[in-house]
Amino acid sequence: MSDEPQPVNTESTSFKASAFLHPRFWFTWIGVGLLRLIAAMPFAIQLFIGRRIGDLMRGLLPSRRRTVRRNLELCFPELEATRRDRLLRDCFRAVGISVMEAAFSWWGSEARLRKLYRMEGEEYLQAALQQGKGVILLGGHYTTLEISGRLLAFHTKDLQPIYKPARNPLFNALMVSSRNRLFDNLLSNREFRTILRSLQDNKIVWYAPDQDFSRGRYVFAPFMGIPATSLTMTSRLAKSSGAPVLPFYSQRLPGSEGYLIKVLPPLSNLPSGDDVADATQINLSIEQQVRNAPEQYLWLHRRFKTRPPGEKDIYS
């Protein structure tokens, strides 16, 4: 299947609650109401509630638990079983905290958020913008993804994340409305030409290509030492626009310290003309942060679902 433009309506910043009054949305509304209340609580309490939600998820989602366990076995074979068990627990807790962080990033006050992070490497971002060709901000599916966008938006008005619509229509509408208030624009992951135009307008396109979408243009390249489907869109965008590709990391700090937001220098020799070499360099960049804080990566996703021809399903 092609990943050429298939426009998706990202709606506007206005949110019409009247469109979601059907009983099938009532449980979502209850969850949203609770999240808004929690977003006003002290940060340490939000973290505590998030960890407990993660513990609950670990017990109630056996299929996801198996996926995380298998991913950790594949990517950290050097760890003892007891260490991987603790890492599995911490992975679910990080996911639970990410739910709290999403609420905090959407509804938390700017004054509170500004006290909770430090940023490194902003000079690389500003220098890249001076080239006038846009910037591809290379992210990963770290569990800090949602709140890191809100924090990064304090430093630039030109941030345009690429996103994949959520399945729940009410949650998707809330997400789009909230993100559109925070960012310059929101780009569908299927709108290649729209993304390219944003780069041509010298915008910062934030892209996380590290999931197994099993569609579009991809190659197999190593991620954590295992062949994984790797989209070629990053290098295609860089080739078409001339935009530099800057790795972007976010990390939850210990206790209630907050967050580290970090931009690195642009990747060299990208695009190289070799899709596998480009994908390998991109994966390695994401992998470096995964190894820095392995519990904060989204291991619930079956990253290695699609296998090279002749290989068996590693999740069966």
> Amino acid identity of 250?
S
pLDDT tens-digit map of 89-98:
999 999 999 9
Close Cβ partners of 129 (under 8 Å, ≥ 6 residues apart): 135, 158, 202, 204
Number of domains composing the chain: 1
Pairing of strands 245-252, 226-231: unpaired
Close Cβ partners of 233 (under 8 Å, ≥ 6 residues apart): 3, 192, 207, 209, 216, 217
CA distance linking residue 201 with residue 115, whole number of Å: 32
pLDDT tens-digit map of 112-168:
999 999 999 999 999 999 999 999 999 999 999 999 999 999 999 999 998 887 788
Residue 302, domain member (yes or no): no
Contact 141, 208 (CB under 8 A): yes
Residue 57, domain member (yes or no): yes
CA distance linking residue 50 with residue 238, whole number of Å: 37
CA distance linking residue 92 with residue 299, whole number of Å: 9
pTM of the model: 0.90
Strand partners, 161: 206
pLDDT of residue 3: 35
Cis peptide before 7 (omega within 30 of 0): no
Contact 304, 314 (CB under 8 A): yes
pLDDT of residue 316: 87
Tell whether the model's pLDDT for residue 5 goes beyond 60: no
> Amino acid identity of 53?
I
Q: Containing domain of residue 207, as a range?
A: 17-296
Mean pLDDT (the chain, rounded): 91
Residue 236, domain member (yes or no): yes
pLDDT of residue 19: 86
Task: Name the percent of the chain lying above pLDDT 70.
Answer: 95
Contact 137, 204 (CB under 8 A): yes
CA distance linking residue 232 with residue 275, whole number of Å: 6
CA distance linking residue 154 with residue 44, whole number of Å: 22
Tell whether the model's pLDDT for residue 172 goes beyond 50: yes
More confident call, 215 vs 66: 66
pLDDT of residue 14: 65
Q: Say whether 49 sits in a helix, a strand or coil.
A: helix
Q: How far is CA 124 from the centre of its chain?
A: 21
pLDDT of residue 58: 98
CA distance linking residue 167 with residue 234, whole number of Å: 25
Residue 221, domain member (yes or no): yes
Q: What is the number of residues in the chain?
A: 316
Residue 8, domain member (yes or no): no
Ranges 2-6, 165-169, 190-194, 308-312, most confident: 308-312
Confidence category of residue 214, pLDDT binned at 50, 70, 90: low
Tell whether the model's pLDDT for residue 215 goes beyond 90: no
Query: Residue holding tokens 């949602």?
Result: 146
Q: Say whether 152 sits in a helix, a strand or coil.
A: helix
